Each structure stands twice: as C-alpha cells, then as structure tokens.
Amino acid sequence: MNSTITDTADLVPHHPTGSTDPIGDGATCPSTVSVIGQRSRSWVSTVLVSAVAVVVSIPVLVIVWSIVQPSTDVWQELWATRLPGMIQDTATLLVAVLVGTLVLGTSLAWLVTAYQFPGRRVLGWLLVTPLAIPGYVLGFVWLDTLQEPLGARGVRSIWLCALVLTITLYPYVYLFARAAFREQSQRSIDVARSLGCSRTQAFWRVVLPMARPSLAGGVALVGMEVLTDVGAVRLFNVSTIADGVLRVWFGTGNRNAAAELAVLLIGVAIVLIAAERLARGRARFTQSGLRTGLHVERLRGPRAAAASAIGWGVFTLAVALPIYRLITWAIEARRTDQTATVAGDLGFHLMSSLRVAGIATLACLALGLLLVAGLHRRRIGGTVLARLATLGYAVPGPVVAIGVLVTLAAVDRLGWLPDGWLLVGSFVGLIYALVVRFLAVAYQGIESSVGKVSPSVVASARTLGAGRFRVATQVELPLAGAGIIAASVLVAIDTLKELPITLILRPFGTETLPIWVWQATSESLWVQAAVPSLAIVAVGMVLVAALLWALEHGAETVS
C-alpha cells in the first residue's frame, strides 16, 4: 500500500546520469532484463519473496480476518455514540498535523536551502533532531510544562496534541523538501522571474509544484504516524480511531469490534496513500538538462537575524527546551536516587534497547533487500506482494502485537519446535513483530534508492560482462548506498522509540528504555521518566547524525 512512502531516495540528490529517457526513440521499454534464460531464476525468487511477504503479513491478516464475523450490535452502538466523535477527532488531528508539518517543514527547508545567513549549515542539521524525541516524551514534557499557564483543562486539548505531533514529525517533511529543493535548477526560477514573478511568486508557482512529489511522500509518512499513534493522543484526551481500537478491545473484550475499527483505520490509511500517489503525479524523475542548483541569496542585517531567529526558535521549542526540562528532572531523580528500576540500571536498559533496535533494523534491512531484489519492476504480482509486506505500517502497534501473539501462539501449539522452545515471549517473536510493523520503512527506502540508479549505467555494466551479482554489488549498491543507509537509520529510530509492541511481547531480561519510560509515566511520575527519556534522545541523536552523514555523503558522488 505504501509504494511511494518513505522514499528515502528522495532525500539523497540523485545522479544526473540517465535522468532523461535513454532510449531516445520514446518506445516503451520497461525492463532491461532479457526474458530469455531467466525462467529458472524467476521460480526460486518468486517462492522466496512470496514466502517473506506472506509471513510478514499474517499477523495483520489475522486481525482483519476477525471482521468475517461482524459484530453488528457493538458496531451500531459505537456508531451511535463514540464513532462519529472518533472520526471527527481523527480527521481534525490528521488535517492539523498534516498542514502543520507541511507548512513548518517546507518553510524551514526553503529557509536553509535558498538563503545564506550565519549559522545556516548547523541549523540545517539541528532542524532534523526532533526525530530523536519520541512523541510520548515530548507529550508529557509539554503537558507538565504548560499545565501552569494553560490550566489543566486548557492543556488537554486536541490542538496541543496536534502541536506536539507536528513538532516531532515535521522533520520528515523537512528532509524531503530540502532534498527536493536542492535538486531544483535556478533556471526555472529565472524563467519565472523573467515572466514577471517576484521571487516569492516564483516560489509558489514554480518551486513548490516541482517539489510536490517529494512533499507528498513526506506528508504521507507523517499521516501514517498520526493515524497509528496511541501514546501522545492518550496524554491529551484525544480519542482517535487508533485509540478507539484499544478502547473497544480492552474495554469490551470484543475482539471483533476492535478488528472492525482496525480495518477502518487501514481503510483511511489506504485513502491517504492514494491521495499521496495522486499528489505525486506521474513525475518520477527531476527535470533533465543542466542542473545549476539554486542560487542562494545572502541575507544581511535584520533579515539575516530574522531567519536565524526563526530557525533557532523552532529548534529551541522542539528540542532544546524539552531536553533542558528532562535534564532538570534527571538531576532531581539522581538526587532522590531514582535512576534505576528493579530490572537494572541505565546501562542494562540501554543494552536492551540497542540489542532490540539493532537486530530489528538488520532484519528489516535484510528482508527489505530481499524483497527489492525479488520484486523490482515485477508487474502485478510484485505490487500485491509489496502491499502485503508493508501492511503492518498502517496498523497501530498494539494491534500488530496482538496479531503476532495469536500467530506465534498458534505456531507454538503446532509443536514444530523442539521441546521447551516457544515463540511467544521470545526474542525472535519480538523481532518478528517489529519487522511486521516497520518493514515498510526499509522496503520503500531501498526500493526507491535502487530505482534511482540510472538504467543505462546498469545496462552498461551488463554489456561489460558483469553478471547480476557483480552489477548488484559493484554498481547498484554503491550508488544506492546512501539512500539505503538513510532508510536503515529511519527504521532504527522507529524501533528505538517503539513502545506498545515491546510492552506486550518482550522476553524476560529485555527491558528497553521506552518500557522504563512507560512504567514511570503510567503513574504520572515524570521525574522517574527523565533519565530513560534522555537516554532515548541521546541514542536518537546519534542516529540522526548518521542519517545526516548518509545524506551528505550521497551528495558527494553527484557531478
């Protein structure tokens, strides 16, 4: 379903070779692979890839399958009471956050791309850092901080929730927009200005429309995160459909009704994806011809100061202030000796988190590469399999967890494993669930990165005698490498911050940092939550730095 989401290749300026149709005579030429002699390869790869896609989609299908026995009375009751409110809240939150991230992300990206002012480069990096802060952490920090000025009633509002989500999610749009702007040519703007547009008008009428596909990708990703969020919305009393799924499930014990709501959620996600594809249009490549890059305007005096102020202001609000608040709490926690849980100290939780996030990321990377290799440019079958493999991203964490639970328990009952071995409550089971949830991020990023490698470069390599393996390792992977790394980092960030799945499925001895945060915040003990929150943010910052490195590094090989 998300074949254009998390298009991390869009974050990496792509190589100018092959940006036009190399075929010249305009004939449709979809594939570069000769069908002759390929039959044996197709068979094995089809089986392998299908197996992966199916196995990854089972937990979600299990949940969706419950809809086969619809529970009409619960549904009717829901419709009469909560459902309209849920739909309204979801819609409001979604629209608010989408608009917010679009405006914030795009304008900040434009600011750091088109203008030069003191501190621009550093600011360009710092504006990505909110990615390192989980929404549920920022949520409780703001909840507590704003409790005094706004009052208990004022602080629990859907608009504040939207603001929190906007702040933690705008980096996605920012990254995509920044990459899109970097790839644009000053030439188009010059043409527009010669036709009478001021620089601002040129921005609206030329730059923005050309950046539309990338922006659509970033916004869709934000939309998925908002739809499936269950942490921040609970803090602010916002009852979205995702929250409703849990509410119905655990409130009435009626799994069928909950599943129906979950399917509704997936439906909304599909609509979102479709809208994104529409917004993308049919443009896949940037414009051909000479790429001169954007002409950067130097700002001076008050304008430079204003630009700096905006950027630094956002950073302060989004990152610096929350971290400051967490640090003060952490100091107090140290003073009152609350810097550990019974499970262990910070080191123990940190190792748990690194282990879980590390292995889950590797698994997503490996499977993502597998899927891309097997599905790339395969027509109808490929689309279906890709959609199956990426279903989990549209489903809230707890729902995925329950689906995995049911699936693994069924496998355990079959007794295929040696005596004493169980999948439920095992490390493998947890990794499996995280893969189900986040494979989409890896797959999409790898797919689009590999897709941006010029077909004529690949074709040249083949005519020079390189077999498929050599082409893959010596040509495609190096050229797509930066985008693949970026995709992996995004998966790592997601698995690091993940809470609901880890809560339900973790094995004994694995207590991650988010679990610690949950144990504290479920009792409103913000002070105790500070140390693990800071640890999550610290690791997140390292990952964000890696992401930025990957993006910069990718740019170096472009001529």
Partner 1 sequence: MNVDSLARFRADEATATVPTRMDFTLDLPRAALSVAGVTRHIGGRDVVDRVSFDVADGELVVIVGPSGCGKSTLLRAIAGLDPMTAGRVVLDGTDVTALPPEKRRIGLVFQDHALFPHRRVDQNIAFGLTDLGRADRTRRVDELLELVRLPGVAKRYPHELSGGEQQRIALARALAPDPAVVLLDEPFASLDPSLRDDVRTDVVEALRNRNAAAVLVTHDREEALALGDRVAVMSDGRMLQIDRPDEVYERPNDRFVATFLGDASFLPDPDAPDIALMVRPHDLSITPGGSDAVAARRYLGAAWRYTVRCSDGTEVDVDLAAGPGTTPLGVGDACTVVVDAGHPLHRLPA
Partner 2 sequence: MNQNHTRQLLGSLLFGALVLGACGSDDDTSSSDTGVTDITSAPDTTDATDPIATTATTEAGSDSADAGGTVTVYTGRHYGIEPVFEQFTADTGIEVRFTTGNDPELRERLIAEGVNTPADVVMTADAANIELSADAGILASVDSDILTETIPEELRSENNDWFSLSQRARVIISSTERVENPPTTYAGVGDPEWQGKLCLRPSTHPYTQSLVASLIIAEGEARATEIVQSWVANDPLYINSDTDIYNAVADGECDIAIANTYYLGRLLTENPDFPVGIVWPEQDGRGAHVNVSTAAVTANAPNPEGALALIEWLATDGQQQFADANFEYPADPNVEPNEIVVGFGEFTADLPAVRQLGANQPAAVGVLSATGYE
Write out the binding residues for partner 2, residues 208-237 only, by CB under 8 A.
Answer: 234-235, 237
Q: Which does 44 bind (CB under 5 to 8 A by kind): partner 1, partner 2, none?
A: partner 2
421 counts as binding partner 2 under rule CB under 8 A? yes
Q: Which does 24 bind (CB under 5 to 8 A by kind): partner 2, partner 1, none?
A: partner 1
Nearest to 491 by CA among 532, 550, 531, 450: 550
131 counts as binding partner 2 under rule CB under 8 A? no
- Distance (Å, whole) CA 133 – CA 229: 14
- Cβ neighbour number for residue 114 with a 10 Å cutoff: 19
335 counts as binding partner 2 under rule CB under 8 A? no
Length of the chain: 559
| Nearest residue (CB) to partner 1, 477 versus 541 | 477
Q: Given the rule CB under 8 A, which of 26-34, 100-108, 203-211, 214-222 is the region that contacts partner 2?
A: 26-34
Question: CB 31 → partner 1: shortest distance, Å?
Answer: 7
- Cβ neighbour number for residue 40 with a 10 Å cutoff: 8
Q: Which does 398 bind (CB under 5 to 8 A by kind): partner 2, partner 1, none?
A: partner 2
Pair 506, 512: CB distance under 8 Å: yes
Among 406, 436, 529, 550, binds partner 2 (CB under 8 A): 406
What torsion do the CA atoms of 117, 119, 121, 127 make, to the nearest 10 degrees? -110
Q: Which does 479 bind (CB under 5 to 8 A by kind): partner 2, partner 1, none?
A: partner 1
Q: Which does 252 bind (CB under 5 to 8 A by kind): partner 2, partner 1, none?
A: partner 2
Q: Which does 27 bind (CB under 5 to 8 A by kind): partner 1, partner 2, none?
A: partner 1
Nearest to 548 by CA among 1, 27, 37, 122: 122
Nearest to 325 by CA among 181, 25, 526: 526
Q: Given the rule CB under 8 A, which of 279-287, 393-401, 439-447, 452-460 is the region that contacts partner 1?
A: 452-460
Burial 239-266 (b: 16+ CB within 10 A, else e): bbbbbbbbbbbeeeebbbbbbbbbbbbb
| Nearest residue (CB) to partner 1, 373 versus 457 | 457
Pair 448, 10: CB distance under 8 Å: yes
Q: Which does 376 bind (CB under 5 to 8 A by kind): partner 2, partner 1, none?
A: partner 2
| Nearest residue (CB) to partner 2, 215 versus 233 | 233
Pair 392, 439: CB distance under 8 Å: yes
Coil, strand or helix at 379:
coil
Q: What residue ranges bind partner 1 (CB under 8 A)?
A: 15, 17-20, 22-29, 31-37, 454, 456-457, 459-467, 474-475, 478-479, 557-559
